Structures are given as structure tokens and as C-alpha cells.
Amino acid sequence: MLIFASALKNPLQDPVEDAAVWVEGDSVWFAGPRKELPEEAKQDEEQIDLADAVLAPGLVNAHAHLELTCLSKLQYPGSFVEWIRRVLEAKQALPAEQADRAMPKGIMQSLLGGVTTIGDHLSVTGDVEALLYSPLRGKIFLEVLGVVPDVAREVYAAALSLERAYRNFPGLLEIIPSPHSVHALAPEVLDQLLEKNHGLFSLHLAESEAEQRYFCGNSGPMHDLIASRGIRSERRGASAVQELAATRHLDSRLMAVHGNYFSDEDLDRVAEHKMSIVHCPLSHRYFSHQAFPMEQALERNINVALGTDSLASSASLSMFEVMREARKNFAELDEEKIFAMATLGGAKALKLEGQVGRIEPGKKADLIAVSRPGRLDPMKAIFYAKRVMFSMIDGKVILT
């Protein structure tokens, strides 16, 4: 298939005007100026001319909770721990028909918002098949949690069962049992899980002030919530990162989600172990967290990716909105750097950088197109898009 557009924009590269992309099967074979198309490509009879559009690699949402899409009207109660309680209550009270619509709605909103690759956190009771049957590429992190050891073991067993059941599913999403966080999982189950030979785990780390107080001072609402389950707090470090280091589980297989309250020491350890951090600017605004340590992370050459989080704490599942929020919050970052975080950064965080992140020969044919009114600068056309006008994943047209 040949795809033509007025421009092609890859991250950290100059735009290509009057662009063409040649797709064979699930991969890109050529991407560049139309005039440089190889003769073999010109013989391809299947062609799409997107005219005044900008082609770009599909965006990577490195952290989402699509099953919470139906909780979009949840108001923040002023306390992170109280918000957790309200999410749990709202999920339990959700009518079955609304719960069934959550995942399909989340998938469609993600696709319209430029996403082709996702790192989704899903409960073991969530609609895993709806996500597996979607066109999205990426990872499904089955959340293992439970501070009560017997509960944690049951959830872990359920996650392992789902992983085995769908191991050979012919889609683009890999299922990985993964800890929700350090503090929300019984230590013995956390140890057992992180000893598994998986190439990637996704953990919520240093997300909230309540978590910080729990580890640093053995106090606060998170401590009280866990204590109410009959669990005595005996943490093995002054932060989740320090605990992972103390138990020798800190390594490059861990993707740190949020990281809003990382200390300098934590960031040094994250950098040393070549971990990625996923920043979710819309949920960061919702919770009014302290400033995300973007400058400190980039100074240490830490890979930073971007995510939406869930509609229970975010205004949108659009990665265009996420990029714009990040641009507003970090004056030191230009649009190009933020676009790179939403493509290359996410691909690296999910360990898919060999497949996605740029439109170039050898990469998977995962790409989007946005309108370009008045031949707008290609980077600005992408950055200020409201939705995609075209989407392709694995060489298959998804949206037109």
C-alpha cells in the first residue's frame, strides 16, 4: 500500500514535504519524499492520498486504565486515599451494562486521540478480551495487589491463569502479571512476582504524598488504610524505590509510573538501573501533586514517557491533550521534545523501540495522520490536533 500526504513528521527529525510511505504486510518499506519512491513501490496499485495531512508515527500511551473509562465524572474528594475508596465503591456500584461499555469506549477514545500502542493496567476481573480483540499494540499489565497475603496470592493466581489462557492469542498485546505498586502488595507476593522471568513490569511508584508519608514516616492516611486491613507496616526502605533496591528487585525491567515524589536519591537509582518513568500530566493536575521532577530526570538521562492514566483522574484519553498539557507545564521543553516522549519515549518504556516510535523502513506500519489546514507547520499540526483523520496499525487501516 502507498500512502501519500503533504508532510511526514518523525520525532527529532526535520519534516519531509510531499511525503510517501510504502507499506508491505505489517511493515514500512519506504518513508520519505514522494519523488524518491523506488520503482517497485510505484507499481503498488493500492494507494491512499491523504492530501493536506501530516503523517506521524502512532502515539504511545505508556500508562492507562481503560476499564475505568465509565468513571469519568468522579470528583476529587481532596484526599488521594479517599479517592481510592471512592473508585472502589464506584466500580462495585457500576451497572453491568455500563461496565461492559467501558473498555470499548476507552479503546475508541484512545484511537481517536492518536494512540496506536498502549501500556494498560487491568484488574484480573476486567474485560481482557475486549482489549485483546482491539487493534492496539502493546502490553496489558494485569494488576496484582492486596496487602493481605491470602488475598494477594489469590489475585496473583488469577493473573497467572489469565496469562496462560491467552498466551497464544493472535493479537498485538502481551499479557504480563505485574504489581500495582510496592505498598499495595504483600511483600512475599511482590518478591515472588518480581522473580519471574518477564522482560517488563509496570509499577506505580512515588505517586502520591500519602505514599511518601507511608514509607518515610510510617504514618498518614495510606498507613491508616493499610492498617485497617489488619496489616502492620514493616517496610524495608524509606521509599518504594529504596525498598526495591534493598530486596535486589530494582532493575531495568521496571517501568516506574508517575514518580511525582521521587527524591534525588531515588532518581539516582532509577538512572543507575536504566528504568523509564511514565509521567501522566492530566492526572497530575487532577490530584494537584507537587511538581513532577522533569528537569532532574532529564539531567540524569532517564527516559521519560507519557500516559493518560484513567478517566477517573484524567480529563481525556487523547495523547494530543497529554502533549499539550505537558507543554504548558514544562517551559524548558519544546514541542519536539514532548512529541519524542509520546513516541520514542513510550516505545522505549514499553521495550518496543525496535518496532514503533518512528515511521522508517523495518518498523511496524503503525502510523497516524492529522489535518494540516493552510499547510501549517507539521509539528504544530500534530501538536494541536483534536483527533486523527487516519490511523493504521500493523499495516491495517483502522480509522479513515
Is residue 287 within 8 Å of 318, Cβ to Cβ? no
Q: Are strands 201-205 and 27-33 parallel, antiparallel or unpaired?
A: unpaired
Q: How confident is the model at residue 132 (pLDDT cuts 50, 70, 90)?
A: very high
pLDDT digits (tens, 9 = 90+) for 113-126: 999 999 999 999 99
Element (H, E) at 4: strand 2-8
The whole-number pLDDT of residue 99 equals 85
For residues 366 and 135, what is the distance between their CA atoms, to the nearest angstrom? 11
b/e map 58-90, b = 16+ CB within 10 Å: bbbbbbbbbbbbbbbebeeeeebbebbebbeee
Is residue 77 within 8 Å of 83, Cβ to Cβ? yes
Residue 233 pLDDT greater than 80, yes or no: no
Instruction: Report CA dihedral (318, 319, 323, 329) to the nearest 10 degrees.
Output: 60
Superfamily of domain 2-57+358-399, CATH level 4: Urease, subunit C, domain 1 (2.30.40.10)
Nearest to 32 by CA among 49, 19, 15, 41: 19
Mean pLDDT along residues 315-339: 97
pLDDT digits (tens, 9 = 90+) for 151-176: 999 999 999 999 999 999 999 999 99
- Per DSSP, the residues of 230-287 read T-----SSSSHHHHHHHTT--STTEEEEE-TT--HHHHHHHHHTT-EEEE-HHHHHHH
Query: How do the domains of the chain map onto residue ranges?
Result: 2-57+358-399, 59-349
Residue 181 pLDDT greater than 90, yes or no: yes
Looking up cell 531515588 gives 266
For residues 297 and 251, what is the distance between their CA atoms, to the nearest angstrom? 17
The whole-number pLDDT of residue 218 equals 82
Element (H, E) at 88: helix 80-93
Percentage of residues of the chain with pLDDT beyond 90: 90
The dihedrals phi and psi of 148, each to the nearest 5 degrees, come to: -85, 120
Q: Which of 10-14, 96-100, 153-157, 300-304 shows the lowest per-residue confidence on average (mean pLDDT)?
A: 96-100
pLDDT digits (tens, 9 = 90+) for 7-41: 999 999 999 999 999 999 999 999 999 999 999 99
Half-sphere exposure of residue 106: CA atoms within 13 angstroms, side-chain side: 34
Residue 375 pLDDT greater than 80, yes or no: yes
pLDDT higher at 235 or 258 = 258
Instruction: Report CA dihedral (155, 203, 83, 136) to the nearest 10 degrees.
Output: -80
| Single pTM value for the model | 0.97
Cell digits of residue 69:
473509562
Residue 217 pLDDT greater than 90, yes or no: no
Indicate if 59-349 has the same CATH topology as 2-57+358-399. no
The whole-number pLDDT of residue 282 equals 98
For residues 61 and 28, what is the distance between their CA atoms, to the nearest angstrom? 21
399 contact partners, CB below 8 Å, separation of at least 6: 111, 112, 388, 389, 390, 391
Pick the CATH number of 59-349 from 3.40.50.150, 3.40.190.10, 3.30.2270.10, 3.20.20.140: 3.20.20.140
* Residue 84, helix vs strand vs coil: helix
DSSP 7: E
